[in-house]
Structure 1
Amino acid sequence: MASSQQLKISAVTLFVFCLFCQWHLRANAQIGTPKFKVIAFYTAREDKAHISFVHEANAWFPLMAAKYHFQYDSTKNWNNMNPEFLSHYQVVVFLDTRPDKPSQREAFQKYMENGGGWMGFHFSAFALTPSDFNQDWNWYHESFLGSGQYVSNIWRPSSAILDVDRNFPATKYMPNTFKTSPNEWYRWEHDLRKNPDIQILCSIDSASFPLGTGPKLNEIRHSGYYPVVWTNKKYKMIYFNMGHNDMDYEHKYDNTDKTLSYTFSSPIEEKLVVDALLWLGK
């Protein structure tokens, strides 16, 4: 027969074991529950550089989701841009284009006005009248992004040195300057420095000039101020002009579709996007 001392030791051991099991279950539950949920919308049509970026992003974001404990979903069904569907996500990402239907646009605007988070890349801000993407959404291009219409771009996609405003949660751990992966950099209709709602987080450093290789002279920039990452202080949002990979354009008619550079091949650029996403989802 066991002594009273042995029974006490067994009881204590069982108690400690039960506490450990409860802690282990809670820890696993916390690991299994995402901190926030992200839904990325994309079109991936026509422009091979944009398609390349979409494929890259849809492979890269799930890796970051596993590392930083958030959920990443993606869809090319823009009809999911509705209040019920969006209610399940804390962050919306536009990988290449924007919604076109009035009901989709209304749903997105209300989502943002109600505190949702948004991250947009490159072509998601594009608007040019006349084109296949007319500027026919004033709230988005004028009030939300503040940039107005697209004006021009450099060519060929080139790396740039960016100046960083570190006075912001998503950039405070960034270096003062960093070199990007090659990109097609846009110029905009409006000077964002004059918009009190806009905080420019990254802009092209003068050390980048001349930026672009042409062959057309107007595709090379020699001076000027060009914002490439910014936020609107009225919303929880960040726009990145990055998102146009360099392709093997010289052999484009051979249907090789070879990608020569990747946006997320730059560790510093990766860090900027991850820190921005964690800020949006917190």
Structure 2
Amino acid sequence: MLKKPIVFIALLLFTCSAYAQKSKFSVIAFFTEKSDLAHISYVEEANTWLPTAAKQYHFTYDTTSNWNNLNAAYLAKYQVVLFLDTRPEKAEQRIAFENYMKNGGAWMGFHFSAFALSPSSFPQNWDWYHNEFLGSGQYASNTWRPTSAALRINGEHPVTKKLPKIFTSQPNEWYRWERDLRKNPDIEILLSIDSTSFPLGTGPKAHEIWHSGFYPVVWTNRNYKMVYVNMGHNDMDYEHKYGKAVNSLSKTFENDIQNQLIINALLWLGKTKK
């Protein structure tokens, strides 16, 4: 007589468990994965680590290197868009992304996705993205060689929840920007380089070593659901080639605190409902 209730309860528990495991949100990562070996190394690593994180935190993770997928119909399936290494170049792709963000979409970009420099192969020819959305304007300079830095949390935000006030990052090439983000009321700086990091970089050129200054590395724009993360450039053994291969000397996702920052950002962004 008790078998039916037991079976019913077991089925109910299984259904509830399955519902709990259902994806909370869907992420699509765009990438190019060409030219810079450090960025290629990072993208390959990201596309290994992020699917594992997706299973653990119950979101779906898809990837595409076809930037023509940056259109309204394709983006409608996703709550969060990632730019792993570059940005869209075609006008129709840029318009689709801008509309997506202005209509409740969420975005996280890494390292080179914010790069723009005129003249270069990636000129500053997208004012909305670089000046309004990111607020940073053009790239101004960088440290070299990729090194770890002490990062300081600026204020309280869900992205930095339960992180230590100061922590050591993975090695990275750190960017300096044309515009002072502290003067932009729309920008909330979440992390910056702590002064204990200086001198930062090893050169050999003098301007590649920073000795002082304020350098934001993670921020959000209050008008959009977005997070930019400057990390995403692995250190590479350029001096020693093994055939056609160049070994990675560092990994971006081998740092539990930095990884938690990225997870916090994804979970915060994923709460957005279009």
**Structure 2 length-normalised TM:** 0.96
2:5 aligned residue? 15
2:197 aligned residue? 208
* Structure 1 residue corresponding to 2:28, chosen from 31, 35, 39: 39
RMSD: 1.2
* Structure 2 residue corresponding to 1:194, chosen from 173, 178, 183: 183
In structure 2, runs of 5+ residues without a counterpart are: none
* Structure 2 residue corresponding to 1:178, chosen from 141, 162, 167: 167
Residues 1:165 and 2:154 aligned together: yes
Q: 1:260-271 counterparts in 2 under 5 A? A: 260-271=249-260
SS at match of 1:265: coil
Which structure shows the bigger proportion of residues in helix conformation?
Answer: 1
| Residues 252 and 224 of structure 1: CA distance in aligned 2, closer, same or farther (over 3 Å) | farther
Residues 1:74 and 2:63 aligned together: yes
Partners of 2:42 and 2:179 lie apart in 1 by: 26
Instruction: Name the count of aligned residue pairs.
Output: 271
Residues 1:64 and 2:53 aligned together: yes
Q: Cα deviations across residues 153-178 of structure 1 (Å, max 9, x unaligned)? A: 01100110011124111112111000
* Structure 1 residue corresponding to 2:244, chosen from 242, 252, 255: 255
Q: Cα deviations across residues 200-249 of structure 1 (Å, max 9, x unaligned)? A: 00000110000000001111000011000000010000000000000001
* Structure 2 residue corresponding to 1:229, chosen from 196, 203, 218: 218
AA in 2 matched with 1:28:
A
Measured after TM superposition, the shift of residue 30 of structure 1 is 3.5
Measured after TM superposition, the shift of residue 22 of structure 1 is 2.6
- What is the percent sequence identity of the aligned residues? 60
Greater mean deviation of Cα atoms: 17-26 or 88-97: 17-26
Residues 1:273 and 2:273 aligned together: no
SS at match of 1:187: strand
**Structure 1 length-normalised TM:** 0.94
Measured after TM superposition, the shift of residue 254 of structure 1 is 4.8
Q: 1:106-117 counterparts in 2 under 5 A? A: 106-117=95-106
1:27 aligned residue? 17
In structure 1, runs of 5+ residues without a counterpart are: 1-9
Q: 1:83-94 counterparts in 2 under 5 A? A: 83-94=72-83
1:135 aligned residue? 124
AA in 1 matched with 2:13:
W
Greater mean deviation of Cα atoms: 158-167 or 34-43: 158-167
SS at match of 1:92: strand
Partners of 2:175 and 2:246 lie apart in 1 by: 23
Checking the alignment, whether the CA contact within 8 Å between 1:152 and 1:186 is kept in structure 2 is yes
2:136 aligned residue? 147
AA in 2 matched with 1:46:
S
Checking the alignment, whether the CA contact within 8 Å between 1:161 and 1:177 is kept in structure 2 is yes
Checking the alignment, whether the CA contact within 8 Å between 1:166 and 1:174 is kept in structure 2 is no
Q: Cα deviations across residues 130-172 of structure 1 (Å, max 9, x unaligned)? A: 0000000000000000000001001100110011124111112
Checking the alignment, whether the CA contact within 8 Å between 1:161 and 1:204 is kept in structure 2 is yes
Partners of 1:156 and 1:43 lie apart in 2 by: 23
Checking the alignment, whether the CA contact within 8 Å between 1:122 and 1:242 is kept in structure 2 is yes
Which structure shows the bigger proportion of residues in strand conformation?
Answer: 2
Partners of 1:148 and 1:253 lie apart in 2 by: 38
Partners of 1:23 and 1:219 lie apart in 2 by: 58
AA in 1 matched with 2:15:
L
Checking the alignment, whether the CA contact within 8 Å between 1:166 and 1:173 is kept in structure 2 is no
SS at match of 2:159: coil
